[in-house]
Amino acid sequence: SQQGEEDPQALSIQEGENATMNCSYKTSINNLQWYRQNSGRGLVHLILIRSNEREKHSGRLRVTLDTSKKSSSLLITASRAADTASYFCATVASGSARQLTFGSGTQLTVLP
Amino acid sequence: DSGVTQTPKHLITATGQRVTLRCSPRSGDLSVYWYQQSLDQGLQFLIQYYNGEERAKGNILERFSAQQFPDLHSELNLSSLELGDSALYFCASSVDGGGGGLGYTFGSGTRLTVV
């Protein structure tokens, strides 16, 4: 079963604009991760934020985490056509379970 | 190249058959995870092994089984295949059991088509 939902399901923007994707989850977490997947390819780890962190940056990526609302957002600044891909959030639950549980994903299209 | 190797890349087989998917984790990683990705179910966790032992089980059908060998490579066995088993099967690895706050490295997947 999916951990939660991502919003929007699809997003289309112009090159140079910022893209924001949101993720909601259901259970207490140890950490939350964002992955990128180009069509039919493997997933690439982008960034990880721990449950005691509120914000994290990596290059053009900014991730926020609100554990009280069980939500996270991924911001990609100054988007490029090469950023076109599906983006998934995934959580590692608190406790003994350590596997990633994925959201439904956001399909981002960046138009040149 | 992510360092996680999955073979074969593509597999076409008939209903009722049995197939084996293979995964070699990134060097130094002890955990292997198997995921199934389909259009209707999204990314579903199947099973995790850590240093040869089963660590966690997800939505894995009884017709499916897996193991991790002493050299840490893993195999996912799918039997009595049905049309609905057609999907992308991903293997991922991590250095720890998943709670250490490190990302997972995914292979490029095996696309299984059951006809």
Q: Which residues of chain B make contact with A58, given a CB cutoff of 8 A?
A: none
Q: What is the mean pLDDT of chain A?
A: 91
- For B57-78, the pLDDT digits (tens) are 998 999 999 999 999 999 999 9
Predicted confidence (pLDDT) at residue A86 exceeds the cutoff of 90: yes
> Sheet containing B5-7: which strands, arranged edge to edge?
B5-7, B19-24, B74-78, B64-68
pLDDT score for A1:
44
Å between A91 CA and nearest CA of chain B:
10
Choose the closest CB to A99 out of B42, B98, B101: B98
Nearest-angstrom CA–CA distance, A92 and A100: 5
- For B12-44, the pLDDT digits (tens) are 999 999 999 999 999 999 999 999 999 888 899
Residues in chain A: 112
Predicted confidence (pLDDT) at residue A104 exceeds the cutoff of 80: yes
Angle at B39 (CA atoms; ends B35, B43), nearest 5 degrees: 25
Phi, psi of A75 (to 5 degrees): -110, 125
